[in-house]
Amino acid sequence: MLQIVREAVLNAMKHAQASEITVSCVTSADGTHSVSIRDNGIGIGEASEPPGHYGLNIMRERAARLGGTLHFSQPQNGGTLVSVIFPTNGAGR
């Protein structure tokens, strides 16, 4: 999980021109964990990578190893939101 958060924060710093990055973690009553990384940068577009760049795919693979899912979105107020959701009994803990 740490590497997913690290990569999302580094992407916001390097590519998004973000001046603010917020990381939040929540465990819901059903035991599902969610981690959100939000920035106020230029946005991620279609969440595709240029040739030779693998960071987003590696993030997806790491989330899958935890039994979770990774989502990229652009909030209406701008920036990027990266969300990782996984169950308590995730495989990669």
Question: 45-56 pLDDT, tens per residue?
Answer: 655 555 666 788
Instruction: Indicate if the pLDDT at residue 80 is higher than 70.
Output: yes
**Predicted structure pTM score:** 0.83
DSSP character string of the chain: -HHHHHHHHHHHHHHS--S-EEEEEEE-TTS-EEEEEEE-SS--TTS---TT--HHHHHHHHHHHTT-EEEEE--TTSSEEEEEEE-TT-TT-
Query: pLDDT band at residue 87, thresholds of 50, 70 and 90?
Result: confident
Residue of 56, 44, 37 lying closest to 16 (CA atoms) = 44
Walk me through the domains of the chain, giving residue ranges and CATH numbers.
2-86 (3.30.565.10)
